[in-house]
Amino acid sequence: MRHRDDDLSPFREDPVVKALTAPATEAELAHEPDALAAFRGASPVPPQRRRSAARVATGTTVAVLTLAVSGGVAAAYTANLPDSWQQKVYKQFHSIGVPAPKHHTTSATTSAPPTIAAPAPSTVTTPSPSSTRAGTPKPTKTPTTEPSATTSPQPTSSLPVTVPTPAETAPTSPTTSPTASEAPAPAPGGQLQIRVSPGNRVSAGTQLTVAGKLTAPDGTPVAGRRVALVERVAGAPGRQRLATGVTAANGEVTITGPSAERNLRLVLRAGHHVRSEVQRIVVIPTLNIQVPSTPPGATAVTVTIMVSGGQAGDVVVVRGPGARDGRRATIDSSLRTTFTLPVSQTQSLHYRAIVHRTRVHAGHSLAFYVPASGG
Amino acid sequence: MGTTLIGKQPSRHARTRGPEVGAADEPLDDALRRARAGDETGFVELWRDLHPRLLRYLRVRARGNHEDVAAETWLQVVRDLGSFSGNADGFRAWLFTMARHRAIDAARAAAARPALSVPDFTAVGRPPTAAPAEAEALDRISTERAIALVRRLPPDQADMVMLRVVAGLDVPTVAEIVGKSPGAVRVSVHRGLRALSRDPQIRSEVV
């Protein structure tokens, strides 16, 4: 019988083939600890064990069966059920990895609300030392309750695996073909928490730092695992890997993120299936308003407004005396625009510049005034 | 019977560094069996043998993203290892099929959204790697150069050459993975290797 490798025999001593098949280098083997940590973190289980888990699910109490049918077991695995229900499911399914109720641990989905970072103050430059009413952006609730991707929508067959592996192996498996990677598979255990500093509402240009903590289903920290900071694109399936880091012994990792030039949706990922919740980063533009000095007798003045964190084409609205309904102008590529505003001879005129919310930044407003020209 | 890629491989006892890429994998059957049973040493043996091959393959298939794709592939392996049954040949085919799918996904994602020029923070302040031994440096240079030359082949042909030579998969398995007939795979790989062997650059570097 012809050997299946006979077609490569002429190239056996070819320098290209020898180079391609050269012994592994140290660099190629450098990530062995990472791989071993992943192996320890996801103990395999033979398929018959999973089938027995399914039988347990069908033979248990009505309450638990109801949970299983409604996908509650998947929720139970991620400890998202109330403690009382979690305890019930845990009693029935702890052998297949369902965790106990969260008495003392804090999951990513219940972590403390994101801190609100005070954005850098916008500035108003006026010729007078008198005070201005610089607007401070109001903190708003930033929803970060998107379901974690680690919560599998699958029923019992998709339960993560945490039990030790018996020595015996299955005689047959549907995953022996190369297409096994396409089959629905259980999500690995583990939880990845995310926290963004200095907060979820930041001024344009703020440098972001993302901290994460990776824990196994039993709550123990997972060390040596590479964690990627990924930007998700709103309304699109695309995502962009921004940077990576490796978890320390306590399971924590700190990654220097991008500067906040536009709104972001950040996720930490450990491997393909363990993800953190989504952190929405809202960028607050900074308004810089320059009001030139008004000579005596002047009737109008040209005010320059610069919007840092904005985009060319953004609309700036100025409301105030003589512009009750608001004057509108768009900023150019230098992120500036100008307004010619009236000047009073006897009193200062107070205005408010407004930049409305867009897809790339939040709305913001800033009060300023034009001093009287009569002294 | 395991796959012998290019004739008999030297004894493992003669190796001073990592396992030779493309080596015969009968011993991997035992490592695979132990890894499935949860034995870490079995998994490490598998990883040490297959990961270098996987990286080299992905450096052709998933340019610039090979380490991440490899890491994701191994995570899927450790996740699904308990449901896998088969010998080392089947495991290798399974591993490289998953890697190929992930590489395709990564390429689609990169095409859908061009990469931003955000530096990898892990590269900042990283201490320089230790200077490898002279012999390893020579091997490394030639391997780098060989991979660069394979990249210059048409993508399908480069894919088949790497699966055949580096992954050590047999012709029917490669044909199944790439969706071509075994005859087409055999011819394409043959032509690709012949084109590479005639390249004057690789000869001047390796010889």
Dump pLDDT digits (tens) for B75-107. Answer: 888 888 888 888 888 999 999 999 999 888 888
Name, in order, each residue with C-beta under 8 angstroms of A207's C-beta and a sequence gap of 6 or more.
A256, A257, A259, A260
Q: Give Cα A309 distance to the centre of its chain.
A: 20
Please give the average per-residue pLDDT across B22-36, as a whole number: 75
- State whether B36 and A26 contact (CB < 8 Å): no
Which of A21, A158, A168, A232 to probe the B interface (max B CBs under 10 A)?
Answer: A21
Residue numbers in B near A42 (CB within 8 A): 75, 78-79
CB atoms within 10 A of CB A100: 16
Give the DSSP letter string of A304-342: EEEEET--TT-EEEEEETTEEEEEEEE--TTSEEEEEEE
Chain A nearest-CA residue for B182:
A4
Reading chain A (375 residues) residue by residue, the pLDDT tens digits are: 344 456 788 887 788 888 888 888 888 888 888 888 888 876 544 444 444 443 433 333 333 333 333 334 344 444 444 444 445 444 444 444 445 554 433 333 333 333 333 344 455 655 543 333 333 333 333 333 333 333 333 333 333 333 333 333 333 333 333 333 333 333 456 788 898 888 888 888 888 899 999 988 888 888 888 898 988 765 555 677 888 898 998 989 999 888 888 888 888 988 877 888 888 888 888 888 988 888 888 888 889 999 988 888 888 988 888 777 788 888 988 889 998 888 888 888 888 889 888 888 888 888 888 888 875
Question: According to the model, what pLDDT value does residue A122 have?
Answer: 53
Provide the Cα torsion B129, B131, B135, B141; round to 10°.
60
Distance CA B85, CA B79 (A): 14
Q: Do B112 and A238 touch (CB under 8 A)?
A: yes
Interface of B with A in 135-194 (CB under 8 A): 136, 139-140, 142-143, 145-147, 149-150, 162, 164-166, 170-173, 176-177, 186, 189-190, 193-194
Return the residue of B nearest to A164 by Cα: B38
Q: State residue B145's pLDDT score.
A: 84
Beginning with the edge strand found earlier in the chain, give each strand of the sheet holding A206-215 in spatial order. Answer: A191-197, A206-215, A252-260
Is residue B51's pLDDT more than 90? yes
Looking at chain A, which residue has its C-alpha nearest residue B112?
A238
Per-residue pLDDT at A13: 79
pLDDT given at position A6: 64
**Number of alpha carbons in the 13 Å side-chain half-sphere of residue A275:** 19
For A20, the closest chain B residue by CA position comes to B143
A chain contacts of residue B112, beta-carbon cutoff 8 Å: 236-238
Helix ranges (DSSP H) in chain A: 15-20, 32-41, 47-58, 62-69, 72-77, 83-93
Question: Cα–Cα distance between A353 and A361 in angstroms, integer?
Answer: 16
Q: A239 near A264, Cβ under 8 Å?
A: no
| C-alpha span between A333 and A350 (Å, rounded) | 27
Note the pLDDT of residue A110.
31
B80 near A CB under 8 A: yes
Structure tokens at A374: 């009569």
Q: Does B134 touch chain A (CB under 8 A)?
A: no
> Would you call A238 exposed, middle or buried from its count of C-beta atoms within 10 A (0-12, 13-18, 19+)?
middle
How far apart, in whole angstroms, are the C-alpha atoms of residue A340 and residue A301?
Answer: 5
Q: Do A165 and B36 touch (CB under 8 A)?
A: yes
Query: Would you call B133 an interface residue with chain A, using a CB distance cutoff of 8 Å?
Result: no
**Model-level pTM?**
0.41
Residues 6+ apart with CB under 8 A from B129: A27
Chain B residues touching residue A245 (CB < 8 angstroms): 121-122
pLDDT of residue B178: 92
Token duo for residue A28: 């190629």
What per-residue confidence (pLDDT) applies to A100?
A: 54
Overall residue count recorded for chain A in this entry: 375
DSSP string, A5-60: TGGGGGGTT-HHHHHHTPBPPTTTTTTHHHHHHHHHHS----HHHHHHHHHHHHTS
Q: Which of A19, A29, A172 sits opposite B146 (nearest CB)?
A: A19
Cα separation, A232 vs A16, whole angstroms: 41
Do the beta carbons of residue A74 and residue A196 sit within 8 Å?
A: no
Q: Given this model, what pLDDT does residue A141 score?
A: 35
* ipTM (interface pTM): 0.75
* A36/B33 CB distance under 8 A: no
pLDDT of residue B188: 93
Among B30, B129, B169, smallest CA distance to A8 is for B169
Contact A11 B171 (CB under 8 A): no
Q: Which of A26, A42, A173 sits opposite B132 (nearest CB)?
A: A26
> What is d(CA B142, CA A135) in angstroms, rounded to the nearest whole number?
63
Q: Is A266 exposed, middle or buried (0-12, 13-18, 19+ CB in 10 A)?
A: buried
Which residue, among A199, A140, A125, A132, has the nearest Cα to A364 in the 3D structure? A140
Q: Which of B18, B67, B129 sits opposite A24 (nearest CB)?
A: B18
CB-closest option in B37, B43, B113 to A240: B113
Question: Do the chains contact at A15 and B82, CB–CB below 8 Å?
Answer: no
- Hey, which residues 18-47 in chain B have their CB within 8 Å of chain A? 18-22, 33, 35-38, 40, 43-44, 47
* Minimum Cα–Cα distance from A45: chain B residue: B82
| Chain A nearest C-alpha distance from B83 (Å) | 5
CB contacts, 8 Å: B108 with chain A: none
Q: Which residue has the higher pLDDT, B188 or A237?
A: B188
